[in-house]
Amino acid sequence: MKNYAFCPVSPKVVNENVARLNATFTTLLVILFLLTFNIILMAFLLTDFLIRSIDKAKYSPLAITSRGISKTLSLKTQKINAGPKLFAARIGMLFSVATVFLFFIGTSPTAFIVACVLGVFSFLEAAFGFCVACKVYPYMYRWLYVS
């Protein structure tokens, strides 16, 4: 039996430029958190990822801002499947939950590390269009459902 790599497929599409702008804002907010350790920044990201992870991006403050910037700059729309981005939002939400939880139980160094990983993943998406969650998904799927 052949194992093919795949990402979640959705009938919906999203604008890749908006997704990359979302990742840019996420990267900037994570950097600000790492510099200030202001947990409100991570709580905001957690809320935004939660909104996007339940497929309600039209209510996401970051997505609204990203769409506005994309429109203002007349960036060309590049439609891509929404499934991988939805999965990535769920992963971002998990990293944000972990960071906030670890911060509140007093393990700030661990929270710092988790936030750094989220920042690196977001930077890769923003700068290079490389979605780490999309690369991890096939392995996780095989581990959970095929084995």
pLDDT tens column, 55-77 = 899 999 999 999 999 999 999 99
Give a yes or no: residue 115 inside a domain: yes
**Residue 145 pLDDT greater than 90, yes or no:** no
Give a yes or no: residue 112 inside a domain: yes
**Residue 4 pLDDT greater than 80, yes or no:** no
Confidence of residue 7 (pLDDT cuts 50, 70, 90): low
- Are 93 and 50 within 8 A, CB to CB? yes
Rounded distance, CA 98 to CA 111, Å? 7
pLDDT for 1 equals 38
**Residue 2 pLDDT greater than 50, yes or no:** no
Give a yes or no: residue 4 inside a domain: no
Rounded distance, CA 3 to CA 10, Å? 20
Give a yes or no: residue 1 inside a domain: no
State how many domains the chain has.
Answer: 1
Tell me which H or E stretch contains 100.
helix 82-104
Maximum mean pLDDT: which of 10-19, 52-61, 126-135: 52-61
pLDDT for 80 equals 87
Give a yes or no: residue 116 inside a domain: yes
Radius of gyration of the chain (CA): 16
Three-state SS at 38 = coil
The whole-angstrom distance between residue 68's C-alpha and the CA centroid of its chain comes to: 19
The whole model's pTM is what?
Answer: 0.87
**Residue 82 pLDDT greater than 90, yes or no:** no
Rounded distance, CA 120 to CA 57, Å? 22
**Residue 39 pLDDT greater than 90, yes or no:** yes
Rounded distance, CA 86 to CA 133, Å? 10
Give a yes or no: residue 7 inside a domain: no
**Residue 6 pLDDT greater than 90, yes or no:** no
Polymer length of the chain? 147
- Which domain, by its residues, includes 81? 13-146
Kindly state the DSSP code that residue 105 receives in the 8-state scheme: T
Confidence of residue 92 (pLDDT cuts 50, 70, 90): very high
pLDDT for 3 equals 45
Rounded distance, CA 93 to CA 55, Å? 13
Confidence of residue 9 (pLDDT cuts 50, 70, 90): low
- Are 24 and 126 within 8 A, CB to CB? yes
